Chains A and B, each alone.
Chain A
Amino acid sequence: MALLDRSLPWSKAPVLLFRRPGVALALAAAAMVAVVPAAGTPLLLSASQSDSIAQQIDDQCVVPSGSDVRFPLEGSWQETVEGDTVTRVASGPSMEELRERVAEIDAEAAEIPGLSPVERTYVIGHSVTTDSGYGIPEIAMGLRTDSGDLAKVFVAYRDGAPGMVTQIDGDFGPGAWIPDDLGSLSEAGVGDELELAPIFEGSPLEDMLVPPGQGETIPGEDGPVTLYTEYEDGDAPTGVTIPVTGEYRTLNDSDLGTSHWCHLQDMLQFDAMPEGEWVPTVLVDEETFWRLGGQVEQRVGVILTYELAATPTVDDAREAAAGFAAMESALETGDTEVTTDLPRFVARADLVGESLRLPVAAVGAAAVLVGLSIVGGAALLWTRRRRIELTVLAGRGVSPAALGGKAALEAMPALLLGGVAGYLLCRYSMPVWAPSDLIAVTAPRDAAYMAAGVTAAALLTVAVVAARACRRLTEPARAHRNLSWLPWELVPAGAAVAAWTLMEPVTEVTAGEASDRVGVVSQLPSRVFVVPLLAAIAVAMLVARAARWYWNRPRRRDPRRFSGFLASRRIRRDRWASAVMLAAVAVPTALAGYAITASASAGATIDAQARSEIGSDVVVSFDEPQTVPPELAELGRVTEVTRIDGLTLQGTRVSALFVDSETFARTADTADLLADTDVTAALDGDTGSVPAVAGGSDRLQDGDGRITLPGAELDLTVSAVPDLPAKRGGMPVVLIDREHMPDELSRISGYQFWVRTDRPEAVKDLITTEFSDVEYRMLTAFERYQGTPKHSVTKAVEYLLWVSVLTAVVVVVGMLLQLESRSAANRRAFVMMRRMGLRSGVHRMALLREIGGLLVAGVVSGLVIAGLLVAVMRPDFDVDTFRNPGVVLDVPVESVGYLAAVTVVVTVAAAWFGHARIAAARPSEVLRETG
């Protein structure tokens, strides 16, 4: 019973805090925001890896996300010997043989989780070589042309093929489906018939194909024997007439064909080398295929594609890769090849995760520390608020540790609520801030552990800070323990300098052997995150010290207005807390401003480099001259360029661009490349010979030069500049006004539109629509590095931004907490001042000036710090220093405006809230308050 009696202040503690819901909510918010970055770290790393896997799988060429299993099917020979007669019975590949092989492979695939049903592709006409190097001579299938010859074709069946091509005509029923380019060989169309027959001419087996019934004498072991060849029913090699039931866009001429068939280009010679021989691919239904493929001498290439049913996490992908490796070992058939890109995808995803680990951890740790410092501040304010009870208990001999425990018990429900809310917010807001909402199974568990750990740390922080504060209730603070005079700013400042010096500005992350297979991942150097974090803290501490020094000085004159006097007194009354609040506003403001600028600048730099590489935002290249669609001019600035590669000028290999000098300069991206040269003026010069601007090589000099074009020569007066856009293969570029372009040129590399636009996606759609019947190649700056450097580079910085924003929320919460802690004293003061004639408006203005003064000073300090950080770290915003231009600084002026607006709103709201709380008190109750 005595124990129960003795523990009353502790047993009641968990419910005491809710008598002050404002304090409880503020503590919960502080805990929530401390938990969010901790829980976010494993989620972000996992999401980034999943995003990397998805990016690699979703690449333009739909490489199977799982595996291809390839093997050849060929017929067999059965020999019977009777005396001196040998009979060979030849049979071609059969569906039964296929089913057996597929069943064997399917059984192995069934062990791998997460696979879609197998997709089958059969091909006739292509040699299938295996790792054993055993190659079978090609035995082709031929199409009877209009001239009567047999022209080589590939014949293929694929599950779902009609949905993988751009259908032009026909119902794609049983029969043959022909490409629209087949017209060069045959005029057959939908409704006509095709004859497909095996081509033996030139085949080593040609001589073996003895007509049935005709014997052939060959030497045997015991003397000559007569050899007869027979064929299984239906397997005799012969031509087959097939109805044409569908016509489709040639595979490499349509996006659908390109995306679904590009991974089979080794089988189908799909646009691999345009100058090579093009062999049409005739698609057929399965039954028709076996009429052809089941013939003797045919060698059917079988591809079983096992796709992953859903985009995998990196752990799922790792498991599937291991499964495919086991499948390959289990099959152990020399002619079966199991290929998968999953190990490469996984290795690259691991590399992405590794590149993010340090910056994300640094940002997360800093944010957690800021959150915990606010929690610690809340503990200090709690001791002030509960001073009377704590003094009574200390007077009864209760130890500071026990009082710290009481603080933790009181704060526990709010901190637990905040911790759970923080975890849930982080977990379920991933669609907003994470690169992917697909995460490994272990990631939420790890995030929960982190959240629990930070919540426990918050409880411990409350207990320790409160205990230390309660020591002062009965034991005097010893002078030599007051070490605030020491320049503690030097600690984070020194760490920032050390980090700057010791951390290399490495922009590429590799991982041992993985670098050989998966290349590198571009990333902002880690010091871009670590140095600003430390420096911002150091400068903010310095600002706080300066503020305290300023407030410590005796004032010569008090403010004239009473609201200013009151605000000034309240700020100076608790200099430490005011200084901490000032620093706490400055740090997240600085980091948010820096993060926004760093992210925008890194992205702008990459975009500028991409534009510099291709020439402008969008560059479309045609084989024939085209007219600029009128609608294109509405989407941006357009200029026409005629390009010829592989020329020579002043002994240097160059590319020549014939441009419209009036429109080129304002459309092409030449920023930072030209020094002070005015391209338009240089191209319009009148020097006798043709004026030209050349850039991209130190070997090109100002002066005369002759350029040999395909079919003409031009004498040029060259103005050399440091660099020009749209270099190919590293070759320098020469700009010449198109009015000097000879009429007859035997070779043009491309007729181009260069488009400068803010709406590249709309331009892309317009080109696709307007030129659907024309061959073209389109490059867009915004897609140039999609999924590679830009995406991963800005990910970590955007994480810093989000964390900074959340930290700013914590600070506002802390400010409200500070207001709340003073509310008792302020209430008593307000009651007294009201009796002396103070008007509510004056008090409200005093609160505005008190809160606004600290907030505005903190925000301004933060912005100045952000500017300093950007100035110092600017060179590191360029992840590819080998490309021009250099760093493009993108300062978020709009964001500063938003920040100013938010600051005003928060100030007004906090002042209104604070005044409402104070003014609502009844004098009779206030004067009887026991605290």
Chain B
Amino acid sequence: MKPDELVSCRGVRHGYVADSGESLVLDDLELSIAAGEIVALTGPSGSGKSTLLRLLGCLDRAHAGTIAVGGVDTTTASARRRRRLRRDRIGYVRQNPADNLIDHLTVRQHFMLATGMGGRTSTGPAELAERLGVAGKWHRRPRELSGGEQQRVAIGFAALGRSDLLLLDEPTGQLDHAIGEQVLDTLDLLRDTGLTIVVATHDPKTARRADRTCRLIDGKVAA
């Protein structure tokens, strides 16, 4: 692993078992992400973007190969080690904003929960809420927020307390253009806090906001 390399994927293979047999999604994937980068993962539907994000986020284990995050081999690490990574270093945001939030907690409680659970944070919850434009919704619950507000809260919730990596799966997929731009603006904010950001998207505008684009084809990163 290189000195400034945060994420390293070597020979990653992963698939899903269906009634018709195993379907290989990632096939000898090789990928390297430096700390502080914003990387966009693009590719057609079914190319493995979301699968790769789940593997990077320690939400699943690759069937073969090695995935290292911050020097930790997540494919062979114990469940406890992987939980610590998720708690302190890796955040994950799903496409559907509602799937990222807990329905009975307010915005404030989400941010406080993230602060209490996570590791070091360079930005306080109130400040982050202000920067994300959701400070006025401090005591609202998710169902009282718009889609864009939900997604921004979800991003803030995922980022707070995490030190290294933030993974976003189609963050603007269910949002209109204007709201989507607001969400993308938050990525720049978060990069300033030192996070490395990986975004899976098939939206070209989102991809243009990234430092680098990696296109997945046939389970590999296209050269």
A520 to chain B, nearest CB (A): 60
> With the chains together, A471 CA to B82 CA distance in Å?
12
Identify which of B61, B92, B98 contacts A475 (C-beta below 8 A): B61
Which partner residue on chain A sits nearest B54 by CB separation?
A: A474
Identify B103's interface contact among A391, A397, A475, A930, CB under 8 A.
A930
Among the 9-residue stretches A8-16, A156-164, A681-689, the one with 4 or more Cβ atoms under 8 Å from chain B is A8-16
Chain B residues near A631 (CB-CB < 8 A): none
- CB A591 to nearest CB in B, in angstroms, measures 37
Q: Mark B95-126, 1 if CB is under 8 A from A, else 0.
A: 00011111111000100111111100000000
The reply to whether A6 and B143 form a contact with Cβ atoms under 8 Å apart is no
Of B83-91, B186-194, B200-208, B210-218, the one with at least 4 CB within 8 A of chain A: B83-91
Contact mask A693-717 → B, CB, 8 Å, 1/0?
0000000000000000000000000
Contact A396/B114 with A476-B60, A928-B143, A930-B142 known, Cβ cut-off 8 Å: yes
Q: Are B92 and A395 in contact (CB under 8 A)?
A: yes
Asked if A389 is an interface residue, CB under 8 A from chain B, the answer is yes
Chain A residues contacting B83 (CB-CB under 8 Å) are 397-399, 474
- Is A730 interfacial (CB-CB < 8 Å)? no
Residue B36 at the chain A interface, CB threshold 8 Å: no
B98 adjacent to A2 (CB under 8 Å): no
Interface bits A887-931 vs B (CB < 8 Å: 1, else 0): 000000000000000000000000000000000000000001111
> Could you tell me which residues of chain A, from 583 to 607, have a CB within 8 Å of some CB in chain B?
none
B59 / chain A contacts, CB cutoff of 8 Å: 395, 473-474
How many inter-chain residue pairs (CB < 8 Å) link A and B?
Answer: 85
| Chain A positions 1 through 45: 1 when the CB is less than 8 Å from some CB of chain B, otherwise 0 | 111111111001000100100000000000000000000000000
Residues in A neighbouring B92, C-beta threshold 8 A: 395
Is B102 in contact with A6, judged by CB distance below 8 angstroms? no
| Bound: A396/B105 CA distance, A | 15
Evaluate contact between A12 and B114: CB separation under 8 angstroms.
no
Residue A388 interfacial (CB < 8 Å): yes
Residue of A nearest to B150 (CB): A930
- A11 to chain B minimum Cβ distance, whole angstroms, is 11
A2 and B92 CA atoms in complex are apart in Å by: 22
Q: In the bound complex, do residue A396 and residue B104 qualify as a contact, i.e. CB atoms below 8 Å apart?
A: no
Within 8 Å CB of A9, what residues of B? 102, 105, 113
Q: How far, in Å, is A470 (CB) from chain B's closest CB?
A: 12
A834 vs B99: C-alpha distance in the bound complex, in angstroms?
A: 25
Give Cα A475 to B81, complex, Å. 12
Q: Given the complex, which residues of B lie within 8 Å of A369, measured CB to CB? A: none
| A825 in contact (CB, < 8 A) | no
Contact (Cβ within 8 A) B142 A396: no
- Give every chain A residue within 8 A of B117 (Cβ-Cβ): 5-6, 396-398
B57→A389 contact, CB < 8 A: no
Query: Nearest-CB distance from A394 to chain B (Å)?
Result: 8
CB of A392 within 8 A of chain B? Answer: yes
Known: A396-B117, A930-B143. A475 touches B104 (CB 8 A): no
Which of B58, B87, B102, B112 has a CB less than 8 Å from the CB of A389?
A: B102
B11 shortest CB reach to chain A, Å:
19
Q: Which residues of B contact A929 (CB under 8 A)?
A: 98
Interface residues of B in 40-57 (CB under 8 A from A): 57
Does the CB pair A12–B143 fall under 8 Å? no
Interface residues on B, range: 20 to 34
Q: Which residues of A in the span 342-398 have a Cβ within 8 Å of any Cβ on B?
A: 388-389, 391-398
Cα of A399 to Cα of B22 in the assembled complex, Å:
29
Chain A residues lying within 8 Å of B99, measured Cβ to Cβ, are 388, 391-392, 930
B88 touches A8 (CB 8 A): no
**B1 surroundings in chain A (CB, below 8 A):** none
Give Cα A193 to B38, complex, Å.
127
B24 at the interface (CB under 8 A from A): no
Q: Are A3 and B116 neighbours in the complex by a CB distance under 8 Å?
A: yes
Determine the residue in chain B with the shortest Cβ distance to A471.
B79
* From A4, A16, A476, residue with most partner B Cβ within 10 Å: A476
Instruction: Kindly report which residue of chain B lies nearest to residue A554, judged by CB atoms.
Output: B19
Chain A 448-490 residues near chain B, CB threshold 8 A = 471, 473-476
Q: Is the CB of B104 within 8 A of A16?
A: yes
What's the least CB distance linking B109 to chain A, in Å? 6
A395 touches B143 (CB 8 A): no
Closest to B87 in A: A397
Q: For residue B108, which residue of chain A has the nearest CB? A: A5
- A155 to B125 alpha-carbon distance, docked (Å): 103
Name the B residues within 8 Å of A16 (CB-CB): 104
Q: In the assembled complex, which residues on chain B have CB atoms less than 8 Å from the CB atom of A6?
A: 113, 116-117
Known: A388-B98, A476-B60, A928-B143. A396 touches B87 (CB 8 A): yes
Chain A residues, CB < 8 A from B143:
928, 930
- B109 & A8 in contact (Cβ 8 Å cutoff): yes
Report chain A residues within 8 Å CB of B84.
397
CA distance A397 to B161 in the complex (A): 12
B101 and A392 form a contact (CB under 8 A): yes
Q: Are B79 and A475 in contact (CB under 8 A)?
A: yes
Contact flag A397-B86 (CB < 8 Å), given A5-B116, A392-B102? yes
Cα separation A397 to B81 with both chains bound (whole Å): 9
Q: Which residues of B contact A8 (CB under 8 A)?
A: 105, 109, 112-113, 116
Out of B60, B80, B86, B115, name the residue touching A2 (CB < 8 Å).
Answer: B115
Shortest Cβ distance from B61 into A: residue: A476
A205-223 Cβ-contact flags toward B at 8 Å (1 or 0) = 0000000000000000000
Contact A392 B100 (CB under 8 A): yes
Q: Map CB proximity to B onto A390-413 as digits: 1 under 8 Å, 0 otherwise.
A: 011111111100000000000000
CB of B114 to closest CB in A, whole Å: 7
Separation in Å of the A474 CB from the closest CB of chain B? Answer: 5
Please, which residue of chain B has its CB at the minimum distance from the CB of A928?
A: B143
Chain B residues with CB under 8 A of A5: 109, 112-113, 115-117
By beta carbon, the residue of chain B nearest A6 is B116
Residues in chain B near residue A398, CB distance under 8 A? 83, 87, 117
Q: Are B103 and A389 in contact (CB under 8 A)?
A: yes
CA distance A396 to B117 in the complex (A): 8
Nearest Cβ on chain B to A553's Cβ, whole angstroms: 12
Q: What distance in Å separates the Cβ of A27 from its nearest Cβ neighbour in chain B?
A: 18
CA distance A19 to B109 in the complex (A): 19
**B116–A2 touching, CB < 8 Å:** yes
Task: Assess A930 versus B98: contact at CB under 8 Å? Given A389-B103, A395-B86.
Answer: yes
- Most chain A CB inside 10 Å of its own CB: which residue of B85, B103, B109: B103
Chain B's closest residue to A393 (CB) is: B102
- A929–B84 Cα distance when bound, in Å, is 30
CB contact between B104 and one of A12, A394, A471, A474 (< 8 Å): that residue: A12
Known: A6-B117, A9-B113, A395-B57. A930 touches B101 (CB 8 A): yes
Docked Cα-Cα span, A605 to B5, in Å, equals 85
Q: Which residues from chain A contact B105 at a C-beta distance below 8 Å?
A: 8-9
Residue of A nearest to B14 (CB): A476
* Closest residue of B by beta carbon distance from A931: B103
Taking the closest CB of chain B, its distance from the CB of A398, in whole angstroms, is: 8
Chain B residues within an 8 Å CB radius of A3: 116
From A474, which residue of chain B is reached at the shortest CB distance? Answer: B59
How far apart sit A471 and B118, CA to CA, in the bound complex (Å)?
20
The residue in chain B whose Cβ has the minimal distance to the Cβ of A19 is B104
Contacts of B60 in A (CB 8 A): 474, 476
- B98–A397 CB distance below 8 A: no
What is the minimal beta-carbon distance from A804 to any residue of chain B, in angstroms?
Answer: 39
A residues sitting closer than 8 Å to B (CB atoms) are: 1-9, 12, 16, 19, 388-389, 391-399, 471, 473-476, 928-931
19 residue pairs of the A-B complex, CB under 8 angstroms, read: A5-B112, A5-B115, A8-B109, A8-B112, A9-B105, A388-B103, A392-B99, A393-B102, A394-B86, A395-B57, A396-B86, A398-B117, A471-B79, A474-B59, A474-B86, A928-B98, A930-B103, A931-B98, A931-B103
Q: A9-B102, A395-B59, A474-B83 are in contact. List 20 more A-B contacts (CB 8 A).
A: A2-B115, A8-B109, A9-B113, A16-B104, A19-B104, A393-B102, A395-B86, A396-B87, A397-B84, A397-B85, A397-B117, A398-B117, A399-B80, A471-B79, A474-B79, A474-B86, A930-B98, A930-B143, A931-B98, A931-B103
Q: Which 3 A-B pairs have the closest CB atoms?
A: A397-B87, A5-B116, A6-B116
